Amino acid sequence: MWGRRDYPLTTGRIAEYVLAFVSLCFDVRSFHGRDMTAILQHHPGVMDYESAFVVLATCAAGAPVRRRSYSKLMTVAHDPNDLHGTDTLALSVLALRCVAETTSRSVDRHLSGPIAALVTRQEADGGFGNFHSTLLAVQALRLEREQGWNESAAVAYLLSHQQEDGSFGNLFDTTQVLPVLLGRTLLNVTTTDCHRDGGGAEVTEDPPTVPPPTTTAAPPTLINFTLWLWVGPDVNKTFSQALTIPQNTSLFDAMKLAAERDSNFEFSATVWPNGHYIHTIGGVHEQKVGYMFWLLYRLKASPNVESKPVNTQLSATGVDDVFPEEGEHILFWYKKI
């Protein structure tokens, strides 16, 4: 799993493995000779979403949480501009609560902002933007026993995604939603018998006791763009995801965020001297026989099946050198060249 040149794992995916192994009572700090928490700590990710996931998984594994990672959560918690996505806010709440429960640190004063922001994100249909964001928001709000949201509507929204066969579309989504429907959260991975006699995580240096001054660093400028997937020359399947990312974030890093939120956007890449080459998205692999490849287009408006993009709209650079712009539409189209 660790020696491949392909790119099968994002930081968030490794964190998910850590949480899964912790729930099974595996020693992730000595897993086949490797400390998986150390791998997480050295690859915390570029997104605040990934950073929060790393703290949560590290804490659940009983490993020390670095002050730098804790401080980053403080920055999210005390963001006066409410710039962070629902997923990031919810994971930050879960991560901070884990640290509080495994150390003796009080985090209540740090959680009021994220919790209040989450409550305002609930929409008329009961959800929090999409299925995966709703899963995380429900866990965070339940954990904090927040009163200002409609829990029944949120659960009904989740149940509305159940298919006729009883699943929720795919294995990943089904395994994610079932614990939530039973009233559990990601923090419950440490409630099995093998964890009851163990210690908790510690912050290796004292975290700041007050919010970091807002004057020391300006909040990042965020941009919104839409990532699209078209499958087949005749466009048999389409997927899209609206993303909010810091300005000057590469498309490659944005794709990692998209993959964490929707399994249809999971991808694999090969590392070439000039960067990452995407050969698989959503389980659809390029086919050299038949010349079927993933082509990358940069568009000013939503792609239209009735008026398909032309070759002049192909990106001249790879995913490491594409930096999405405000309002842009970026399309990966699996087609014959």
Binding residues for cyanocob(III)alamin: 87, 130, 176, 277-278, 294-296
Type of residue at 312: T
Cβ-Cβ contacts under 8 Å for 291 (sequence gap 6 or more): 336, 337
Q: Which of 32, 29, 54 is nearest to 41 (CA)?
A: 54
- Looking from the CA of 251 toward its CB, the CA atoms found within 13 Å total 29
Task: Tell me the sheet residues that pair with 267.
Answer: 281
Binding residue ranges: 87, 130, 176, 277-278, 294-296
Paired tokens of 119: 């409550």
The rounded distance, in Å, linking the Cα atoms of 70 and 208 is 9
Helix/strand/coil for 189:
helix
Q: Are 45 and 51 in contact (CB under 8 A)?
A: yes
DSSP 122-153: --TTSSSSSHHHHHHHHHHHHHTT--SS-HHH
Residue 296 vs residues 14, 238, 302, 304, 332: alpha-carbon distances, Å: 27, 14, 14, 15, 5
Task: Return phi, psi of residue 234, to 5°.
Answer: -95, 10
Alpha carbon distances (Å) from 15 to 12, 44, 282: 5, 10, 20
